[in-house]
Amino acid sequence: MPSATLLAQSVLSGVFSGALYALMGLGISLAWGLLRVINLAHFAFVFLAGYLVYQCIGVSGWSPTLVVLLALPLFFVAGVALQWLFARFSVDEFGSLLVTFGLTIMIESLIQWIWTADVRRMETPLSTWSVKLGPIYVPVAESILLLVTLAVVVAAWAWLRHTYVGKALRASAQNPVIAAAFGVSHRRLAFLLSGVAAATGALAGVFVAVGSPISPSQMFGSLGVVLAAVILGGLGNPLGLLAASILIGIAEALTMALTAPSWAPLVSFSLLIFILVLRPDRV
């Protein structure tokens, strides 16, 4: 029988994993739900940001704050540029899946060309620093990740829910024609949302670089579970995404703690299938 400490430690680990899934998935959820763009290149943005963080902080010794402040607008612009391409060539929902998959491969090749296929690790004390609370160890980097994710997700939710831009975005997603009749410019809002989505990807990239060694092909490692969380949480629904991500994270962690860890990957997809059977309208 596993001890209470083991279970508590595992649940905590699951919450942190879920937080990373949510931060990685937020941009995808927003773009898919509100722009009908399935942006697989978001994973490439996350890892590109991770490599830039590794290069600027880990190799060149820049200030982490400066790097984050530079990365966010940079990726915002990249997101806007991507949306401009979609608009320019009238890429539809299914087309966006194919185009962004191709773009992901291109960015993976670019990363490999610059940093090679060799593994990179940003050595920072933050990576393995923990604080002991009773019998439980709380990793500091993951705690920051959780706080940042909560802040970003709640901010995204509040932005969509309570601001004119957010309401306009949701209206445009529901019915672009009627929204346009009320003066909503879908095109401009799409640029804004795409930029914000890419910036959240850059933020996720910071934590990917801090949290583990990186290599180019790893960008596909989280693809399945993050997409499962995005669908489970409801497209364009930040709070739903957060809840789904943490649910998946905890379920995986408890599976690893209580049974064979090799069963863990089945959890997210079993949950996804279960929910889609019950609620096929979620996609």
Per CB under 8 A, 216 contacts other proteins: yes
Rank residues 7 and 171 by Cβ distance to other proteins and give the closer one. 7
From candidates 5, 175, 185, 270, binder to other proteins by CB under 8 A: 5
Binding mask 24-63 for other proteins (x = CB under 8 A): ----------------------------------------
What the block records as the tokens of 112 is: 């490999």
Length of the chain counted residue by residue: 283
Rank residues 39 and 222 by Cβ distance to other proteins and give the closer one. 222
Rank residues 121 and 187 by Cβ distance to other proteins and give the closer one. 121
From candidates 145, 233, 252, 268, binder to other proteins by CB under 8 A: 252
Rounded distance, CA 48 to CA 50, Å?
A: 5
Per CB under 8 A, 102 contacts other proteins: no
Per CB under 8 A, 130 contacts other proteins: yes
What the block records as the tokens of 159 is: 């932005």
Report the 3 state secondary structure along 179-196.
HHHCCCCHHHHHHHHHHH
What the block records as the tokens of 160 is: 């969509």
What's the gap between Cα 262 and its chain centre?
24
Per CB under 8 A, 132 contacts other proteins: yes
From candidates 69, 77, 106, 119, binder to other proteins by CB under 8 A: 119
By CB under 8 A, which span of 27-35, 90-98, 230-238, 253-261 interacts with other proteins?
253-261
Residue 138: strand pairing partners: 131
258-263 own/partner pairs: CB under 8 Å, 24+ apart = 258/2
Residues of span 171-190 touching other proteins by CB under 8 A? none
Q: Which of 235, 236, 243 is nearest to 276 (CA)?
A: 235
Per CB under 8 A, 88 contacts other proteins: no
What the block records as the tokens of 134 is: 């009773």
Per CB under 8 A, 143 contacts other proteins: no
Rounded distance, CA 227 to CA 25, Å?
A: 7
What the block records as the tokens of 215 is: 């290599």
Whether 53 and 172 have beta carbons less than 8 Å apart is answered as no
Rank residues 16 and 75 by Cβ distance to other proteins and give the closer one. 16
Per CB under 8 A, 108 contacts other proteins: yes
Whether 238 and 157 have beta carbons less than 8 Å apart is answered as yes
Per CB under 8 A, 128 contacts other proteins: yes
Q: Which of 102, 79, 95, 70 is nearest to 31 (CA)?
A: 79
Q: How many residues bind other proteins (CB under 8 A)?
A: 48
Per CB under 8 A, 123 contacts other proteins: yes
Rounded distance, CA 49 to CA 101, Å?
A: 18
By CB under 8 A, which span of 10-18, 49-57, 171-179, 228-236 interacts with other proteins?
10-18
Residues that bind other proteins (CB under 8 A): 2-3, 5-6, 9-10, 12-14, 16-17, 108-109, 112, 115-121, 123, 127-130, 132, 137, 139, 212-213, 215-218, 221-222, 249, 252-254, 256-257, 260-262, 264-265
